Structure 1
C-alpha cells in the first residue's frame, strides 16, 4: 500500500496515523495470520491499552481465540505460539458474510427461494380470492 493509501484508507490496514501512534508502545507478539499485537498507555479504567494491527483487511474475525482473550483483558499472559489446538477444535474462519461461503437458510433467494412446507403453513392472500 502506498503512502496515500495509508493516509486515507483505514479498511485496508493500519493508517499512517496508527503507525505513528505506535512510537513508544511495546510490541507483544504476532499470530499465525501475521497480525501484530501491541500494548501501551492506559485506558479510561486504568488498565493497559491493547490493540491489534491486522495483516491485511481490518476484520475482527481474523483474531485467533487466544489473542482475543488477551485483547479483551481476559488474560494477562501473552499467548504462546507453541499452544497446540485440541483435537475437537477447528481453525478459526474469517467472517463469511457477503461471500459465496456465507450461510444461506432453506428458502433463501440465493438457494432457489423454495422451502419445505410446514404444518399449518399460511395461505397467501390474493385479491381475486
Structure 2
C-alpha cells in the first residue's frame, strides 16, 4: 500500500495525468528520472532515492503497448532492468561498442497471433488418405440382333 505522503509527493512531481497513468498501468504511484526510450516507444525510469523506493525495485518500464508481454522489452534494456548492466544503454560503453551491424532487430514474441511462426512439413505422411480409383467409362456398347 502506498502511503498518502508519497502519493501526494508524486502527484506534485509528475502531475496528475502522469501520476494517474503510472498508477493505472503499473499499479504503483512511482516517480523517477526518465533514463531512456527504446525503438518500440517503451520508456525506462529510475529512482535512486533509497527513502522512496525499495532497493531492487527502483528501475521500471512504462510499456508503449499495454498487453504486458515480457518480450516487448529488448534484451539490452532487460539487462539494465534486472541489474545485469549498471549504466543505461546510452551511457554503457560496452553496449555501444558491441552492437554489430549484422545483428537482427528485436521482434516481440508473436505466439497466439496471426504473425506466429508456423513451420511447414516436408516429410511424407505416415498415413495416406484413401483415394478411390475408378476406370474411365467408355461408350456404351450396343448389341444388335
The two structures have a TM-score, normalised by structure 1, of 0.58
Aligned to 1:16: 24
Aligned to 1:102: 116
Aligned to 2:41: 34
Q: Which has the larger radius of gyration?
A: 2
Q: How many residues align structurally?
A: 99
Please provide the CA RMSD for this pair.
Answer: 3.3
- In structure 2, relative to structure 1, the CA distance for the partners of 1:30 and 1:19 (3 Å cut) is farther
Query: When you count strand as a share of all residues, which structure comes out higher?
Result: 1
Structure 1 segments of 4 or more deviating over 3 A?
Answer: 17-20, 81-85
Per-residue CA deviations over 1:71-126 (Å, capped at 9, x if unaligned) read 1110111111894841220000111112233122335xxxxxxx5138xx6x7xxx
Q: Which runs of 5 or more structure 1 residues have no equivalent in the other structure?
A: 1-6, 8-12, 108-114, 124-129
Query: Which structure is higher in RCO with an 8 Å CA cutoff and minimum separation 6?
Result: 1
- In structure 2, relative to structure 1, the CA distance for the partners of 1:48 and 1:19 (3 Å cut) is closer
The two structures have a TM-score, normalised by structure 2, of 0.53
Q: Which runs of 5 or more structure 2 residues have no equivalent in the other structure?
A: 1-19, 48-52, 128-145
The correspondence for 2:86, drawn from 34, 57, 76, is: 76
